Amino acid sequence: MSCLGEPFFTVTNFTMTLTDRTCVVTGASRGIGAEIAKELADHGANVVVNYRSSEARAADVAAYVEAESPGDAITVQADVSEPEEVESMAEQTHEAFGQADVLVNNAGITLDGRFENIDREKWKTVIDVNLTGVYNCTDAFYDDIKASDQGRIVNMSSIVGEAGNFGQANYAASKAGVIGFTKTIARELAPKESTANCVAPGFIETDMLADVPEKIREGILEDIPLDRFGEPEEIADAVRFLASGDSSYMTGQTLSVNGGKHL
């Protein structure tokens, strides 16, 4: 505000609406990805529900969108680690909805173990999906994001990518790499007024966390100030913010959604 009580400039009044936006969500058949797809559709987006092998669960997400949301949905099978399959996904997106406006790189896997037990195959598989998969999808939709009037890339990292974690050298490396990749892409997209940001979830109630032994779960909880694990819907809320116009002056950032857990 100026000393006369008048603002120096006026900022466009964006809202959280995603009406008529096309959002591609990878790994959207279950867990966090499914909730992201539903959340974006609930705010008006047309959603591409990507899956690798869970066709029935992806169909359930699309059915929810069609029945409960103002947006539309299609399901597209593609392994994000395979460039040809990702290119096919882009083609199917364009045929159904035209240009993509938002890309959410959510697909990811874990193959955990102590470093001495992580062989080259386990290392390569995790990197291929979690990091190279982000490259493949960004490459396929990059021109769309640049051309969109509010292009958005939202990449899913992890608290493990920020802080490391015992028994997850491959996963931590892949998710740390996503943060560095995002910061660079954000700089390169900025002249087109498109943005790229990360969400780094903490420990969230998903299938992955369900496999953690109870004693270890209790130890993790002791270091979470909010004294609970997160819900997939809470991550979806953060992604929706970054996908919307309300995040227009935020790029190259990592939004940590972890209940206050110390890094």
Yes or no: say if 138 and 185 are a contact pair by the CB < 8 Å rule: yes
Strands 46-51 and 73-77: parallel
Structure tokens at 10: 């006026």
Between the alpha carbon of residue 175 and those of residues 17, 96, 206, 211, 222, the distances in Å are: 29, 31, 18, 20, 24
Q: How far apart are CA 2 and CA 174, in angstroms?
A: 46
Please confirm, yes or no, whether 249 is among the known catalytic residues.
Answer: no
* Collapsed DSSP state (helix, strand, coil) of residue 227: coil
Structure tokens at 181: 């990749």
Phi, psi of 16 (to 5 degrees): -80, 0
Catalytic residue among 51, 135, 142, 171: 171
Q: How far apart are CA 108 and CA 26, in angstroms?
A: 9
Catalytic residue IDs: 171
